[in-house]
Homo-oligomer: A and B are copies of this chain.
Amino acid sequence: MTSSHLHAVILAGGSGTRFWPLSRRSAPKQLIALLSDRTMLQETVARVAPLVPPDRVWIVTGREHKDEVDRQVRAIGGGGPVIVEPVGRNTGPAIAVAAHRLVERDPEAVMAVLPADHVVAKPEQFLRCVSRGEEIARRGFLVTIGLVPRRPETGYGYIKRGEPLQSSGSQGEGDGNLDVFRVERFVEKPDRKTAEHYISQGGYLWNGGMFIWRAATILEEIRAHAPALAQAAAEIATALRDGSDEGRVKELYERIEPVSIDYAVMEHTTRAAVIPIEMGWSDVGSWAALDDVAEHDERGNVVSGRVLDIDSERSILYAQDRLVATIGLQDMIVVDTPDATLVCRKDRAQDVRRVVDALERQRAQEHVVHKTVQRPWGTYTVLEEGDGYKIKRIVVNAGARLSLQSHHRRSEHWVVVAGTARVTREDRVYDVGTNESTFIPPQTKHRLENADPSIPLQIIEVQSGPYLGEDDIVRFDDDFGRK
């Protein structure tokens, strides 16, 4: 069923704050598990897998999320190319650069552009739509997926469909094939009255930012409608192909004006087509949007984790391991994480970003990182910080090792609670078994390694010293290229 030219380009560059405290700057919405035990990125990769083999699934993401994207994709058996953007510049530049890379690899490449943080409840409809879109894209159209609107939503852009597209000679229309239309126009987020008019009039579809086109076609259209973007993207593609240094690529990205592909191309092109579809789609733009896509209990609540509820209604109750007890709530959102809790009226869900802004101003940490921090070699969780000490649980993946490093001002005490640690301390290499411990004084070159190829190593680290910041580290050698 897979086509030899179809590629997926998954846009995973978002830095969303609207799902705080579950999402953080270090773990934006696409990298968290909201509705299943897989993250939204993993769900997106898995959704397209029946049509696109792993090596043709491209992911565009930011520098700071590269490691985590790699980890998540590997965890579900993926591992296609990742395009790292030094700075985010909206969808226009991301798509333009990706199109260049695809054309280099396959001049006939068709690309399905898919946001990494949307929900699709009916994946089989999605696949039908992408397959149909590929056919249309081969005929030179820029195909948009148009979601059949369920209500007069003011938070989405709309697509007005035009004439039905004539079938090409070689393709039989009908027989379960999805209908395709020319696009009459794209319209931005409407006000309430306009949205209601769209719904009652019919022929309007939600614009979900999902596109299917030949990479060569979109490059032509970018050249025609957004020549500055075309020029910049070409330079970046050249720099990437030539192996230019990170600094040069960053400089080029920073010079680009941020622009969406809708604004740069779709609102101007004459080659746009739309496939209307109902596939249980949502962009889950806020906690309140979970109502669209999550299962409800008999009183209309969405409940996850260790929640003990009495008589609440229409509320979103999201706990993890800690106990959350709720009594008599109506239309509320409660989200509990190890270091922060949110309690918010459902109709104020958009104001979560104001909390994040306030934390930013306070130079707090609760909007930046989770208590458990992902690293390329595993994770660490700060269990407690006190005056002059910090306690971490460190999990080192099977076979992985941290960098060879030293700290100026802190010493580290390691107690192994599961597995065996291979410890390098200056010139000595020795193993520390479960329930044994070792000690790393300040200014001592050391390395922690899990030599076991099958089970994770778990240690409790007690740091002590006058300064315990993560930036007190000198790296001498690193498997992950960090300095």
List the interface of chain A (C-beta within 8 A of B): 20-21, 308, 310-311, 322-330, 332, 334, 336, 339-345, 347-348, 351-352, 354-355, 358-359, 364, 366, 383-384, 386-389, 391, 393, 411, 413, 415, 417-418, 434-435, 437, 439, 458, 460, 462, 464
A458, B343: Cβ atoms under 8 Å? Answer: no
Of B308, B322, B334, B439, the residue contacting A355 (CB under 8 A) is B308
Known: A386-B417, A437-B413. A328 touches B351 (CB 8 A): yes
Q: Are B343 and A415 in contact (CB under 8 A)?
A: no
Offer 7 A-B interface pairs, CB within 8 angstroms, sorted by A: A308-B358, A322-B339, A329-B343, A389-B418, A389-B460, A434-B464, A437-B439
Given contacts A308-B355, A343-B332, contact A417 B462 (CB under 8 A): yes
A323 touches B366 (CB 8 A): yes
**Other than the known A323-B359, A324-B343, A460-B462, what 15 A-B pairs have Cβ atoms closer than 8 Å?**
A310-B355, A310-B358, A322-B340, A323-B340, A323-B341, A325-B342, A326-B342, A327-B345, A327-B348, A327-B355, A329-B344, A383-B383, A383-B384, A391-B460, A437-B437
A417 surroundings in chain B (CB, below 8 A): 386, 388-389, 462, 464
Report chain B residues within 8 Å CB of A460.
389, 391, 460, 462
A435 and B415 within 8 A (CB): no
- Chain B residue contacts of A311, Cβ below 8 A: 348, 351
How many Å from the CB of A456 to the closest CB on chain B? 12
- Residue of chain B at shortest CB distance from A322: B339
Contacts of A435 in B (CB 8 A): 411, 413, 464
* CA of A334 to CA of B326, assembled, Å: 9
Inter-chain contact A325/B341, CB cutoff 8 Å:
yes
B411 close to A325 (CB less than 8 A): no
- The distance in angstroms between the C-alpha atoms of A322 and B340, with both chains bound, is 6
Contact partners of A439 in chain B: CB under 8 A: 437
- Note all chain B residues with C-beta closer than 8 A to A358: 308, 310
Residues in B whose Cβ lies below 8 Å from that of A415: 413, 415, 462
Secondary structure dominating the interface of A: strand
What 6 A-B pairs have minimum CB-CB distances, sorted nearest first?
Answer: A328-B345, A327-B344, A328-B348, A323-B340, A389-B417, A325-B355
A388 touches B418 (CB 8 A): yes
Min Cβ gap A378→B in Å is 15
A323 and chain B: residue at smallest CB distance: B340
Contact (Cβ within 8 A) A344 B328: yes
| Cβ–Cβ < 8 Å partners of A326 in chain B | 342-344
A150 to chain B minimum Cβ distance, whole angstroms, is 26
Taking CB atoms, residues of chain B closer than 8 Å to A354 are 310, 327
Judging by beta carbons under 8 Å apart, are B341 and A322 in contact? yes
Q: Which residues of B contact A351 (CB under 8 A)?
A: 310-311, 327-328
Q: Check if A334 sits within 8 Å of B327, measured CB to CB.
A: no
Residue of B nearest to A342 (CB): B325
- Tell me if A386 and B325 are in contact (CB < 8 A): no
Q: How far is the CA of A206 from the CA of B434 in the complex (A)?
A: 63
Contacts of A330 in B (CB 8 A): 345
Q: Give Cα A334 to B327, complex, Å.
A: 11
Distance, CA A328 to CA B345, complexed state (A): 6
- CB neighbours (8 Å) of A411 from chain B are 435
Residue of B nearest to A438 (CB): B437
Partner of A383, one of B391, B418, B437: B391
Q: Which residues of B contact A21 (CB under 8 A)?
A: 323, 325
Closest beta carbon of chain B to A145's beta carbon, Å: 33
Chain B nearest Cβ from A429, distance in angstroms: 21
- Separation of A328 and B131 alpha carbons in the complex (Å): 46
| Cβ A418 vs Cβ B348 within 8 A | no
